[in-house]
Structure formats: structure tokens, C-alpha cells
Amino acid sequence: MIKELKQAGDEVVSGDLGRIERTLTSQFLTLDTIFANLAERSRRQEYMKQMETYLRLALKAQAQARATAEALALLKNPQPYINQANIAQGHQQVNNVYRSPSAQTDLPTGAENSQCAPNKVLDKEKI
């Protein structure tokens, strides 16, 4: 068992997530089957208390199946990480631009192009 766990850990570290994908797929299908079975059992119940118990368990299995499917989808299609800092207290505009690490563009940023007028010192005579 320890040898198998080490091998599974080494596969994940090396980037091979096939085992995890297969496990999540099996879990999803199992939970979906449990949901269908419990929903069918609830339909056959004569008393409301038993029907409610089966339906509650069926909906829990369905929620777990949905979470498992979502985890599998995120594993297959990871979301890009966008770093954002909201510093201002008042109105602000945040322009988040996601650039993949492989994109080598020489686009200037807005700060490099701005030309600020120098501050003028007021003379005492003009005040």
C-alpha cells in the first residue's frame, strides 16, 4: 500500500494527473448512481417521513456529484491566476490584463506614455 501511495504521489508531482481524473470520474458516476437509487426509493415510500429521508440523502449525493464534477472540470481546465490589488478608498478603475507567460509583447503600459505638466510655483505678487 505504501509503495502504491508513493507511486501515486510521484505521478502527481511529475504532472501526470490521470489517476486523479479517473478517481474523480468514478466518484462522480458512483454518486450519480446513488442519487438515482435514493430518488427512486423515495418515490416508492408510503409515509412522508421515509420519503423525506430518502430525498434528503438523494439531494446530498447529488450535491456531492456536482462538486466532484466541478473539481474534475477545474482540474482539466484550470482558471488563470490574475493578481489584483484594490488600494484606493474611493472611486478607482482597475484594468486587469491577463498575459500568458509565453506571450512576449512589447506593448507599453499606460504609465510609460503619460506626460505630466510640471507644477507651477505661484508668485506672491500674483496671489
Q: Residue 51's pLDDT is what?
A: 96
User: What is the C-alpha separation between 76 and 116, in angstroms, rounded?
Assistant: 47
- 71, exposed or middle or buried, with CB in 10 Å at 0-12, 13-18, 19+? middle
| 8 A C-beta contact, residue 16 and residue 53 | no
What ranges do the domains of the chain cover? Answer: 15-76
pLDDT per residue of the chain (127 residues) written in tens, 0 to 9: 999 999 989 998 998 889 999 999 999 999 999 999 999 999 999 999 999 999 999 999 999 999 999 999 998 888 877 776 666 666 766 677 766 666 555 555 555 555 666 666 666 665 5
Q: Residue 2's pLDDT is what?
A: 93
Give me the amino acid identity at 46: E
